[in-house]
Structure 1
Amino acid sequence: MNRIVYLNGAWLEEADAKISIFDRGFLFADAIYEVTAVIGGKLIDYAGHAARLQHSTTELGIRCPLDPDALLAVHRDIVLRNAVDEGLIYLQISRGAADRDFAYPENTTPTLVLFTQAKPVLNNPRIKTGISIATLPDWRWERRDIKTVQLLYPSMAKMEAVNRGADDAWLVEDGFVTEGSAATAHIVTRDGTLVTRPLSNAILHGITRASIIDLARNAGIAVEERAFTVDEARAAAEAFITSATNFVLPVVRIDGQTIGDGVPGPISKRLRAAYIESRLASAI
């Protein structure tokens, strides 16, 4: 693989892209990130990701080096330079390089990085089978609405889930599911109601989550934004996750217990199809 990446205004081959060892993203995880899906060479749900990027940078007091128009242009350019038909764009902004100190340094130049990953997002083979989930305690910090790069615990949780024979983890706090290791958690009750946790600092404000809720309501599917327990999830008719690169991905087992009929359910499949159709129509 020999990708062209973007680093602080320069287009470089990935082997030539270098960042200071004093960068605060490296030393303190003092950085935020976004991931945007690409299908047919176009950006999916870009406006939502750009808005959440603005929220994250504002909350941490990090300045984005590019204005909105220039940032969009870089996203489009990196797709062309790497001939990405389907995959994702990863963006990361750190506070920049400074001598190591816990206090925020003044007048640093932010570090802005973008790179691509070519991978199937429409024809993920797990769509047909669904995935299995293991529940684990949520031991993260309490500002999960900020999309920071401090992802060590979600990585640990995912690996523990894999060690238990599951595909991924759902994190649990005070008996209630917060979210997945890298996705929003949803269930469908026996009466066909879509249930997902309400927005707060306890979860990332998922862009795909918001789109799916709108699509569900427009389709006449009842939606309840409330917390749900692990027992409620295990007893649900359906369960699924949403994220920028999984769209809607069914969950068929939780802690070894079969959900519904043990296959992707009709509402999950309906919402995935509706999401793909609507987002392809609005891709830029």
Structure 2
Amino acid sequence: MEFALLNGSIIKRSEAKVDVEDRGYQFGDGVYEVIRIYNGKMFTVAEHLKRFVKSAEGIGITLPFTTLQLTEMLEELRIKNNLQTGNIYMQVTRGTAPRNHVFPTGDVAPTLVAYTIKVVRPLENLKSGVKAILTEDIRWLRCDIKSLNLLGNLLAKQKASEQGCFEAIQHRGQDVTEGSSSNIFIVKNGTVITHESNHLILKGITKDVILDLCNNNDIPVQERTFSLAELDEAEEVFLSSTTAEVMPVIEINGKKISAGVSGPITQKLQNLFEKEVEKQCGLLVDKVI
């Protein structure tokens, strides 16, 4: 039997229902987070919940629980579902109210939902690398908010899927922003480069882990805008996300990157990332390197 969290109560997942007038359903009026589980432990949970709170505040939603309460409830949910490897998905919406573009007034409580998903590590892709396409970034200008409104991301990801690719690398004009569900990194002259964390991209939790790993292990790193031309000439390209970890990109629009194999800096960061996971969550049985 699977369980879900609904407004502070853990109940049977089959019984976790929300009203048809919930603003998340009608407007995408809410935010979400995905937290990775390794060895039955939540990885970077504090960082994810901090971003969750910030995203909610960014659209004027006050969470009905503290981060400590959320942490305890998510752990209880993980235990109830006996999740050892996978994800916890959580979202909060502005709540249920008669349909109106204007925010509801009065005593309307936010709707908080969370559930678990069993997901193994994508070891084959982490070892062999993935293919990507390029697409114009058509999303709104507050990508730093992890909003439920993901149509732009979905259209980009679907376009990539239809072309047999894992990811769509988005760009605004000549400037690369991020993937449809990931942050993008290039390696140029031995330096790791990724877009600065501003309103044009989501401030990735895994991205921040990678930046710390670079700074602590003498790997030159820059947070700055880089161009399509720099992407095309990159020595290595990789992407990061909660579920994709540090994943090599070996082909973009049919052109091979790094001779079509994972590059040395990407591999070093994969190794360092696994060590960080083990530091927080215990020994990993299967490893990339």
Shift of residue 279 of structure 1?
2.9
Question: For 1:111-122, what aligned pairs fall within 5 Å after superposition?
Answer: 111-121=111-121
Shift of 1:228: 1.3
Match of 1:33? 32
**The residue matched to 2:76 in structure 1 has which SS?**
helix
Structure 1: which 4+ aligned runs deviate by more than 2 Å?
Answer: none
Question: Who is 1:145 aligned against?
Answer: 144
- Secondary structure (helix, strand or coil) at the match of 2:123 reads coil
Amino acid at match of 1:70: Q
Matched, 1:181 2:190: no
Residue equivalent to 1:159: 158
Gaps of 5+ in 1: none
* More deviation, 259-268/34-43: 259-268
The AA in structure 1 aligned to 2:162 is N
SS at 1:34 equivalent: strand
Amino acid at match of 1:113: V
Normalising to structure 1: TM-score of the pair? Answer: 0.96
CA contact (8 A) 1:30 1:94 kept: yes
What TM-score do you get using the length of structure 2 for normalisation? 0.94
Alignment of 1:88-127 (within 5 A): 88-106=87-105, 107-121=107-121, 123-127=122-126
Secondary structure of 1:210's aligned partner: helix
Contact 1:98–1:105 at 8 Å: present in 2 too?
yes
Correspondences of 1:1-284 after superposition (within 5 Å): 2-106=1-105, 107-121=107-121, 123-189=122-188, 191-283=189-281
1:111-154 CA deviation, whole Å, 9 max, x = no partner? 00001110112x53211110001000100000000000111121
Cα distance in 2, alignment partners of residues 175 and 217 from structure 1: 28
Residues in 1 aligned to 2:270 and 2:73: alpha-carbon distance in whole angstroms: 28
Q: Secondary structure at the match of 1:224?
A: strand
**d(CA) in 2 for partners of 1:280, 1:64:** 31
1:44–1:280 Cα contact (<8 Å) kept: no
Q: Secondary structure of the equivalent of 2:153?
A: helix
Return the alpha-carbon distance in structure 1 between the equivalents of residues 281 and 173 of structure 2.
39
User: Matches of 1:234 and 1:261 in 2, distance apart?
Assistant: 13
1:282 is displaced (CA, Å) by 2.4
Cα pair 2:39 2:281 within 8 Å, conserved: no
Identity of aligned residues (%): 34
Following superposition, the deviation at residue 231 of structure 1 comes to: 2.3
Partner of 2:285: none
Q: CA RMSD in A?
A: 1.2
Q: How much does 1:37 deviate?
A: 0.2
Cα distance in structure 2, aligned partners of 1:225 and 1:69 = 31
Does the 8 Å CA contact 2:8/2:73 hold for their aligned counterparts?
Answer: no
Q: Distance in 1 between matches of 2:199 and 2:182?
A: 15
> 1: CA distance between counterparts of 2:273 and 2:158?
29
Structure 1 counterpart SS, 2:126: helix
Deviates more, 1:222-231 or 1:193-202: 222-231
Deviation per CA, 1:46-69: give whole Å up to 9, x if none: 111011111111111111111121
Q: Deviations over 1:78-125 (max 9, x none)?
A: 11111111001001000000001111112310000001110112x532
Q: CA deviation at 1:166?
A: 1.7
Q: SS at 2:72's partner residue? A: helix
1:5 corresponds to which letter in structure 2? Answer: A
Instruction: In structure 2, list runs of 5 or more residues that go unmatched.
Output: 283-289
Q: How many equivalent residue pairs?
A: 281
Which amino acid in 1 is paired with 2:224? R
